[in-house]
Amino acid sequence: MIPEIKIIHQLSLNEIFEVKLLTESDLKAWVANGHYLVSECLEPSTKNRATEFELQFQQSEILHASLANDCNRFAQAAIESIWSVGKINKLPKSTGWAAVQMYYSAFFAAHALLRIYGLACSQLEGDYVDKVFQIASVTELDGGVSSIENGFYFSSILNNKIKFNKLKDSHADTWLSFSKLLIWLIDNISNTTGLGKHKSDALTLISNIKAALHMSGAAKGNWPSQIRNKVNYQHTHGVWYPYKGALHDHDIVLRNTEWLKSPVSFDLGGKNNDILTLYNVSNSIVSLMYHLMNYGYERAGKVSLPLSKGIFRLINQIRAA
C-alpha cells in the first residue's frame, strides 16, 4: 500500500471498517428508527420549517453499521459503473456514455469517500424527517416550527452527535461537500503520524484532486458535473456521433481498469483536453476510494461484514468471471 493512503486513512472514521453487525440498516433507516434525542432546539427557516437538526445518540454501533452499509452500496455502484466502461466494437469512437459512466463512478465514489470520514449526503423523505420532528416535539425541542423539510441533507458525526443540514442540488452540493472534505484533509494531514515526505505526497495527491474539481471556475468543486452536463445535454466534446471535434485518444479513454492503479498515477493537469481529464479525475477518485477501503479493510483484519459481503465479493466475482 502506498504511504499516502496510510496517511490519509489515519483521518478516517475507522469504526466503518470494524462493523461486524449483520444489519441492512442504512443512514435513512437509522434516522427512521429514532434511537436518539434531538440535542438542539429546532429553529425555523423558510415557511416556519426547520432545515437543520442535531441528534444525540448513546450507542454508536448501529450508526456506524448504517454508514458502512451506505458506504459499501455506493462503492459497489462506483465499481459497477467503471467496470462497464469499454469499447463497443461497432462504435469504436463512441465515448459519450462512457464519459457519463465515468462521471457517475466518480460521483458514487465521492459518496463512499464521504462516509469513510463519517460524513454523508443523503435524501431524507418526509417519513424520515417526521420521525425527527416527533422526537423533537415530545421532548419540547421543536422550537415552535411546524415541521422539518424533507430533501437532500448533509450530515457529519462529531463524538456522540450527528448534525444534519439541508442542501439544494444533489450533484453540485455533493461535489461541494466532497471538496470540503478534501480541504479538511489538506488542513489535517499535518496532524497525522508519518514521514514528512509521505505527508507531503499525501498533501499533493489530495490538493491535485481538489484543484481538478475546481477547474474552469467551478466554485462548488463540481467541474466533473459541468462536463457531464455539457456532454449529456449539449453533445459537446465530440463524444457522440459523428464525433466532430473530438480531441481525446479513444483507446486511452476507453480503458476501464485504470482505477486499480495507485491514485497518484493519474495526470490531473487538464491540458485543454476535458474528456481525458474527466477520465483521469474519475479514475483517481475511484482509485482513492478503492485503495482507502482496501487498506482499511485489511488493516482491521477483514472483519467488516458489509464490505466482505459487498464490494470485495463483487470485485472477486468480476475478476473471476
Partner 1 sequence: MSDKVSYGSVSLVRQGDYRFYSFTMPSDVLAETCFVVNRDEDPIEGFQRELDKKRAAEIANYIDSGLGTIPSSIVLSAQEDSDFYYDSKRKSVSFLSINKAFLIIDGQHRVYGFKLAKTALRIPVVVYENLSKRDESRLFIDINSKQKGVPTELLLDIKKMAEYENDTEQYLRELFDTFSTENDSVLYNRLSASKREKGKITRSVFNTAVKPLVKVFGNKNSDEIYEIFNSYLIAFNEGVLVPHKLEEQAFNTTVFKAISGFFPIITARVKDRFGAIYSVDNYYEFTEITGQRIKPAKLATPTNAYKPIVDHLEESLKQEFTL
Q: Answer whether 283's CB lies under 8 Å from 23's CB.
A: no
In the region spanning residues 245 to 304, those forming contacts with partner 1, defined by CB under 8 A, are 299-301
Q: What is the dihedral of CA 39, 43, 48, 49, to 10 degrees?
A: -50
Q: Which x/- pattern over 150-189 shows residues binding partner 1 (rule: CB under 8 A)?
A: ----------------------------------------
Residue with smaller CB distance to partner 1, 8 or 120: 8
Longest CA span, the chain: 65
Tally: H helices and E strands in the chain: 12, 7
Of 9 and 28, which has the nearer Cβ to partner 1?
A: 9
Residues 6+ apart with CB under 8 A from 133: 42, 50, 142, 145, 147, 148
Cell 449539449 belongs to residue: 234
The answer to whether residue 9 forms part of the interface with partner 1 (CB under 8 A) is yes
Residue for grid cell 460524513: 119
Cis peptide before 263 (omega within 30 of 0): no
Closer to partner 1 by CB, 44 or 194: give it: 194
In this chain, which of 4, 12, 177, 312 binds partner 1, going by CB under 8 A? Answer: 12
Residues 60-89 that bind partner 1 (CB under 8 A): none
Q: How many CB atoms within 10 Å of residue 202?
A: 26
44 is an interface residue for partner 1 by CB under 8 A: no
Contacts with partner 1 by CB under 8 A: the residue count is 14
In the complex with partner 1, the residue whose CB is nearer, 136 or 292, is: 292
CB of residue 156 vs partner 1: minimum separation in angstroms?
17
173: cell is 452540493
User: Contact residues for partner 1 (CB under 8 A)?
Assistant: 3, 9-12, 14, 192-196, 299-301
